[in-house]
Amino acid sequence: MFSQQIDLKQKWDPDFVGFSPIFAPLSFWAEQFSSFKSQWPGLDDYQAMLSVLPKPILTQSGKALKIVEQDGKPGHFSEHYAPRIYLSGEIQTRTENWHDFFQFLTWFMFPKTKAVINAIHIPAAQLREEEKTDLGRRSPIENMLSLFDEGGAVILCSDNSLLELIRSFKWKELFWQRRGELEDKLKLVTFGHAMYEKGLAPYVGMTANCILLHVDKDVLQQNNHQQLEWIDNALAKLFTEGEQYKKPKDLSPFPLLGLPGWDNNNELESYYDNLNYFRPGRSQKT
């Protein structure tokens, strides 16, 4: 596996971006914390980064995002995690915590989509609160959005035949037989903050829940900021329309360590014979 990994017991390392290609999309924002050599940035440092933005990151209710310390057990609806973001802009954040650090950074990367996802959760959660039912009993679309928000990624691809290989779970054909095409025709951009956390200590088994987007070649040639803005607009539109992605099974599982360069061992053809990782998919099982 990778030679560099982080002990997930909260040790800070400002050089984490160089550990894996998974971190390339957030490298600009991670660089803002490069001066913290041996100790974690504090919540005030997170807020300072928000405060210098030319325009604030807004929730769909129009509230500016702000960082607050995580509170105890919520007493009423407005104090729950998602409603508090929507109603006040306050995102509860733990100190010295990679999961929450990546959650924070993904708001910079995908501000429109994060706001849309947050807003979609609110009416259904509010109805459960009014009906005194379990707030955790989410609808299929809420479950899909939560799965994507935590462990999702976007695959941009200019070749529909490659996307079809992903849908058909034909991993060896994708990653090995057509390996030479991937750099120019396909790019994976991680969305989920939990997936970024897993990237600190990659392991065979890491699988992202993906949205597949067929794009023109010029989108693949954009710089990082342009590409993230394009993705953010596309995802926000998809989720707002709510037609294509309605339930968890609408997302495509993708063993991301199969991508060339994402694991030191995947330069061998035999790497892709591991069917516990490169699974044939539900439709292929006997």
pLDDT of residue 72: 78
Note whether 207 and 279 are within 8 A (CB).
no
The pLDDT value recorded for residue 225 is 97
Residues of the chain with pLDDT under 50: 1-3, 284-286
* CA nearest neighbour of 117 among 138, 136, 144, 98: 144
Helix segments in the chain, DSSP class H: 27-30, 43-51, 81-88, 98-109, 111-130, 140-151, 160-167, 171-172, 179-185, 193-198, 217-220, 224-241
Rg (CA), the chain: 19
pLDDT at 217: 97
The residue type of 95 is T
pLDDT at 157: 98
Structural domain boundaries in the chain = 16-139, 146-284
The confidence score (pLDDT) of residue 9 equals 57
Which pLDDT value is given to residue 132?
67
Q: What φ, ψ does residue 156 adopt, rounded to 5°?
A: -95, 130
Position 1 scores a pLDDT of 45
| Nearest residue to 262 (alpha-carbon basis) of 248, 282, 281, 277 | 277
Residue 285 is predicted with a pLDDT of 41
The pLDDT assigned to 139 comes to 85
pLDDT at 80: 84
User: Residues 104, 91: contact at Cβ < 8 Å?
Assistant: yes
152-157, strands of its sheet edge to edge: 186-190, 152-157, 208-214, 252-254
Beta 90-93 vs 208-214: how paired, if at all?
unpaired
